């Protein structure tokens, strides 16, 4: 099976090709079509098996096909946008890694993503968020009383 057979947009496929992703892993083969079709998924796989691409690629595909904010072959919209996807990660490091993956996979799409987490100045993050993003990657906040 190839990424072409999973129903992904040509611009996503172009990015995957440039990243030297030649064929989907077992977890990606199982989850990508299901997520694109709107099913909820609970999956588990070892580190390095492509789980992040397994959920990010269908998010991008659905954002292209179902969101009025992003359409292929259009200029990125400026200003506020409705948030389409929220990805929560347990650590800053994983959130940053997922953010890099989202940027890599969507490099040819008019999609804005943002990674936010604590421990850094909140103002720059708030300004970017106010500018509008399609996909937000974040870590939960711990409150200690």
Q: Which residue would you say has higher pLDDT here, 66 or 101?
A: 101
Spatial distance between the Cα atoms of 124 and 75, rounded to a whole number of angstroms: 24
Q: Where are the domains of the chain?
A: 3-138
pLDDT in tens, 108-135: 999 999 999 887 878 888 888 888 899 9
Q: Which helix (H) or strand (E) holds 88?
A: strand 85-88
CATH code of the domain made up of 3-138: 3.40.50.300
Spatial distance between the Cα atoms of 78 and 25, rounded to a whole number of angstroms: 36
Spatial distance between the Cα atoms of 105 and 91, rounded to a whole number of angstroms: 21
pLDDT in tens, 90-105: 999 999 999 999 999 9
């Amino acid at each position: 099976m190839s990424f072409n057979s999973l129903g992904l947009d040509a611009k996503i496929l172009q990015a995957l090709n440039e990243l030297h992703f030649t064929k989907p892993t077992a977890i990606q083969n199982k989850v990508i079509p299901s997520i694109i079709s709107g099913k909820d998924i609970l999956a588990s796989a070892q580190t390095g098996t492509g789980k992040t691409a397994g959920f990010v690629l269908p998010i991008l595909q659905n954002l292209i096909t179902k969101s009025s904010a992003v359409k292929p072959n259009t200029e990125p919209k400026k200003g506020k946008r409705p948030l389409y996807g929220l990805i929560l990660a347990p650590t800053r490091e994983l959130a940053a890694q997922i953010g890099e993956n989202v940027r890599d996979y969507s490099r040819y799409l008019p999609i804005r993503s943002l990674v936010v987490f604590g421990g850094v100045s909140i103002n720059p993050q708030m300004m970017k968020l106010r500018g509008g993003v399609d996909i937000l990657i974040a870590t939960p906040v711990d409150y200690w009383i």
